Structure 1
Amino acid sequence: MNLTIADVRLTPVLVADPPLLNTQGVHQPYTPRLIVEVETADGITGVGETYGDTKYLELARPLAARLTGRRITDTNGLPAVADAVAVDASRVSGRVDVGGLRGVQTADKLRLSVVSAFEVACLDALGKALGLPVHALLGGKVRDAVEYSAYLFYRWAAHPDGVACEQDDWGAAVDPAGVVEQARRFTERYGFTSFKLKGGVFPPDEEIAAVRALAEAFPGHPLRLDPNGAWSVPTALRVADELADVLEYLEDPVLGTPAMAEVAARTGVPLATNMCVTTFDEIKEAFTAGAVQVVLSDHHYWGGLRATRRLAAVCHAFGVGVSMHSNTHLGISLAAMTHVASTVPGLHHACDTHYPWQSEDVLTERPAFDGGKVTVPDLPGLGVELDRDRLRSLHRRWLDDDGALRDRDDAAAMRVADPGWAAPSVPRW
């Protein structure tokens, strides 16, 4: 068995994205993703997926060139290979990562997000070579299905007039009634039993009303609210007080660990984050200050599936809960999320996923939700197969783009509808 990497293929794609609103603006009609394929000398191919913005692609290309001749088992060496690749400082210096709303960008965060796709592809190829599912390579699953939460968004019925894009049948949701109707459709279509609302879009009182409407429509179901750091400490405390009886947790109500710690010290509502704890270096300050009670892991952020398991172990040692953050991902990432989530014993909260919002994919068969859960695949590797015709089609869309959509920019998308829009300063309220 020859496990040497003979070829690495990178395919950037543009996939349809609905007009979902957040505090920075609105999703563009198409979003970039990067599909990574690692092929061994024996012809076994593994796949991975990550962000497809230009800054990630510019790092992925030289990294891919350095992997030929290495073994797919050498996943521990991937970060060192990535560290040897220079990152254009102008791409990351002090900017906030809009695509993931994960706080300030750094070169290390960028590298980890790229490494994650290569690690997943190597694990997929190794699993196929050995006839084992990825979860077995991670130590084995402790659950047969992974629960996910309905990810609710304020949204428009369609992208602004004049924008050519894919349409869907979800309709608008810009008030409490629209949010509740969206939740009902999620439940009918996918069986979700917990709900997360992306906040920071409307004044807090309107979002409090939406959560209250959800609590009335779905009594006893776990509810979360995530304004992406758009509130001040006083506003966060007021919202926490008014929703204390219905929230499972409040996610990133304020920006930064000190502000999160101040809110956490003055409310009994657990605080979750995918913004102030996104690297191991950020753990000490947040955990010793009691700033967060739930860390929302993301294998794209942390550098892969094995790093996600290390994060879960650290959280367990500190008595901090763990769940999973989601970005605008396709089925490869959903499969990877499901495999690693199945191996984490203390996963007591349903994971986030954008996947039901994505009408397009590069797989021959979409992963399915049953009762809000995804069954953990036992097929070799990730248990997914690329649809090469679809991959070529979505890559062709990327090639045909003039560059306007190759980098996610929610504020630019909002300016199509409102030319005067500027991403608001934080705190917004």
Structure 2
Amino acid sequence: MVAPRPADLLVAEVRLTPVLIADPPLLNTQGVHQPYTPRLIIEVVTEGGATGLGETYGDTEYLALARPLANALVGRSVTDLNGLATLAERTGADSLVAAGAHGGNGGAQGVDAAGLRGVRTAGKLRRSVRSGFEVALLDAWGHAAGLPVHALLGGAVRDRVPYSAYLFYRWQRHPEGPGETDDWGAALDPAGIVAQARRFADRHGFTSFKLKGGVFAPEEETAAIRALAEEFPGRPLRLDPNGAWTVPTALQVADALADVLEYLEDPVSGTGAMAEVAARTPIPLATNMCVTTFEEIPEAVARDAVRIVLSDHHYWGGLHATRELAALCRTFGLGLAMHSNTHLGISLAAMTHVAATVPNLDHACDTHYPWQTEDVLAERPVFRDGHLDVGDAPGLGVTLDRDRLAALHQRWLADDGTHRDRDDAAAMRRAHPDWTAPAVPRW
């Protein structure tokens, strides 16, 4: 293959397509997933005709940051990934100032869309937007050069990436109104969770299981983990109540499940409370709430608050930032796993490529993807024995289905604004009008 000329690698066009994707009624401490979740699909087209795909959050604030960044990318090389961070900082600051928001790394904008990521700041918003563009640039570069994204990141150290089943308490269907149906049924007790896990294991070959907690009283969720341990003896189990517990409650649960948990994720809110729990239990504590930026690492390390950091390239600013995080985890002796949001196949492919390049991927990655019945890809990624294969096709190795993209974009266009910003508490109020997102800790 002839190497691309520098001019061929210049960005000629950037297309932004917001979509709404069907989401099941999955429960968490803040409420329930809405019937539809917003995502943003990014296409970068080069002068040489290569097209790269990226994906990130599609909520209104993210779109406001994405549009000026897309315009600013035209004429720049897809290889200028270091310059992308500066460009995103500049265009993002201008957009936030124009919108009347704080443009710095602080400037709290409230909690994240589901209240499950800690405080939202302007810096976090910019990094999440930047991540989608970085993936699209890498994908375009890979197509132009005939190389997979993992090669552009330094090369794969594994040919398969392990994933974990993500278990949720859930309703059978969304309350009356818009929403798609599926054949999963409700899961509101230990038997329902075990049946859900069995189906994931049989269908996808998953051998580790994570339960989203913070929904029911801690003793009920402890019983669900115990039931999983009986059904899958010796398999890695995780529990994530999203900071819904007090320190005493977290210690009680940790004591009750010390013999079966692989790790306990964010049992309490904040680095200080995590440090209190960590000092009094042998169970490793993991987080994707109190450590989601590089600035938050020093305190967590100094206080020995966490043993495992769940990376997420959307949170941290892209695939290169994920590799930088992995290096810091190696330096400080922290374990590394991978967090998941409600994502489509483009993000899943990006997760797989970067996970393939990280030597210290210590735990199977989270993924919501098996819950998603819709995608914008021509072919869905297939889990085999709980793993995704790491291919050598150019770029991410995925192909966009334009008809599917157009249909999901049309849903976004037809929406009255109800679903263009994720709000799990608002979704819960459709079934329980008096619901307000509870303050944490709940128990």
Confirm or deny a common fold (TM above 0.5): yes
What displacement does 1:99 show?
A: 3.4
2:265 corresponds to = 251
Deviates most, 98-107 or 61-70: 98-107
2:288 and 2:295 map into 1 onto residues whose CA distance is 14
1:192 corresponds to = 206
CA contact (8 A) 1:199 1:226 kept: yes
| Distance change (3 Å), C-alpha of 1:44 and 1:94 | closer
CA contact (8 A) 1:323 1:349 kept: yes
The partner residue of 2:175 within 156, 160, 164 is 160
2:401 and 2:79 map into 1 onto residues whose CA distance is 26
1:257-336 to 2 correspondences below 5 Å = 257-336=271-350
The answer on 1:28 being equivalent to 2:43 is no
SS in 2 for 1:38: strand
2:437 corresponds to = 423
1:137-176 to 2 correspondences below 5 Å = 137-161=152-176, 163-176=177-190
1:203 corresponds to = 217
2:254 and 2:241 map into 1 onto residues whose CA distance is 12
2:37 and 2:281 map into 1 onto residues whose CA distance is 37
What displacement does 1:288 show?
A: 1.2
SS in 1 for 2:264: strand
2:57 corresponds to = 51
What displacement does 1:90 show?
A: 4.8
CA offsets per residue over residues 306-326 of structure 1, 9 Å max, x none? 100000000000000001000
2:391 corresponds to = 377
What displacement does 1:78 show?
A: 1.0
1:126 and 1:361 map into 2 onto residues whose CA distance is 23
1:408 and 1:337 map into 2 onto residues whose CA distance is 22
Q: Which amino acid aligns with 2:297?
A: I
CA offsets per residue over residues 25-83 of structure 1, 9 Å max, x none? 00000000000000000111000000000000010001111110110000111111111
Q: Which amino acid aligns with 1:149?
A: S
CA contact (8 A) 2:44 2:51 kept: yes
CA contact (8 A) 1:89 1:107 kept: no
Moved over 4 A (4+): 89-92
2:382 corresponds to = 368
Give me the CA root mean square deviation: 1.0
1:212 corresponds to = 226
What displacement does 1:98 show?
A: 3.2
1:14 corresponds to = 20
1:218 and 1:350 map into 2 onto residues whose CA distance is 16
The partner residue of 2:66 within 60, 74, 89 is 60
2:77 and 2:270 map into 1 onto residues whose CA distance is 40
The partner residue of 2:243 within 217, 222, 229 is 229
CA offsets per residue over residues 112-162 of structure 1, 9 Å max, x none? 00000000000000011111000001111111100000000000000012x
2:377 and 2:168 map into 1 onto residues whose CA distance is 25
2:245 and 2:134 map into 1 onto residues whose CA distance is 36
1:367 and 1:46 map into 2 onto residues whose CA distance is 18
The partner residue of 2:254 within 235, 240, 245 is 240
Taking structure 1 as the reference length, what is the TM-score of the superposition?
Answer: 0.99
CA contact (8 A) 1:24 1:98 kept: no
Q: Which amino acid aligns with 1:67?
A: L
1:185 and 1:224 map into 2 onto residues whose CA distance is 18
SS in 1 for 2:40: strand
CA contact (8 A) 2:30 2:114 kept: no
1:170 and 1:378 map into 2 onto residues whose CA distance is 34
CA offsets per residue over residues 258-298 of structure 1, 9 Å max, x none? 11011001110000000011010000000111000000000
SS in 1 for 2:229: helix
The answer on 1:106 being equivalent to 2:111 is no
CA contact (8 A) 2:238 2:263 kept: yes
The answer on 1:5 being equivalent to 2:20 is no
Q: Which amino acid aligns with 1:44?
A: A
SS in 2 for 1:352: coil
1:226 and 1:127 map into 2 onto residues whose CA distance is 36
Q: Which amino acid aligns with 1:164?
A: P
1:341 corresponds to = 355
2:142 and 2:242 map into 1 onto residues whose CA distance is 37
Q: Which amino acid aligns with 2:134?
A: E
CA contact (8 A) 2:30 2:115 kept: no
CA contact (8 A) 1:44 1:125 kept: yes
SS in 2 for 1:342: helix
2:209 and 2:129 map into 1 onto residues whose CA distance is 30
In structure 1, runs of 5+ residues without a counterpart are: none
Q: Which amino acid aligns with 1:394?
A: L
**Percent identity of the aligned residues?**
73
